[in-house]
Amino acid sequence: WFLFATCEVPEAPLNADPVDFLGVDLGVVNIAVTSDGEIMAGRELNRIRMRERTLRSKLQRKNTPSAKRRLKKRR
């Protein structure tokens, strides 16, 4: 048995006079910087990327069946 149900929901009205704006700058050193001055640093993300890259290169160098299996799991 299957039941397909639909319902109509009215659209919310758009705000014609916005009070505040938020701009986001995406960069390399800092992942994001908002127009309010809040900085999201990318140090932790870069550390994780580097660890994954070194692990991937080590596993690819081994070229054993277990290394290939571990590489598949990490995708």
pLDDT in tens, 5-63: 999 999 988 877 877 777 777 777 778 877 778 887 888 888 988 999 999 999 999 99
Is 70 part of a structural domain of the chain? yes
Count structural domains, the chain.
1
Question: What pTM did the predictor assign?
Answer: 0.51
Q: Please report the pLDDT score of residue 22 as a whole number.
A: 73
Q: How far apart are the first and last CA of the chain?
A: 37
Its domain, for residue 61, covers: 44-75
Is 58 part of a structural domain of the chain? yes
Sheet holding 30-34, edge to edge: 24-26, 30-34, 39-41
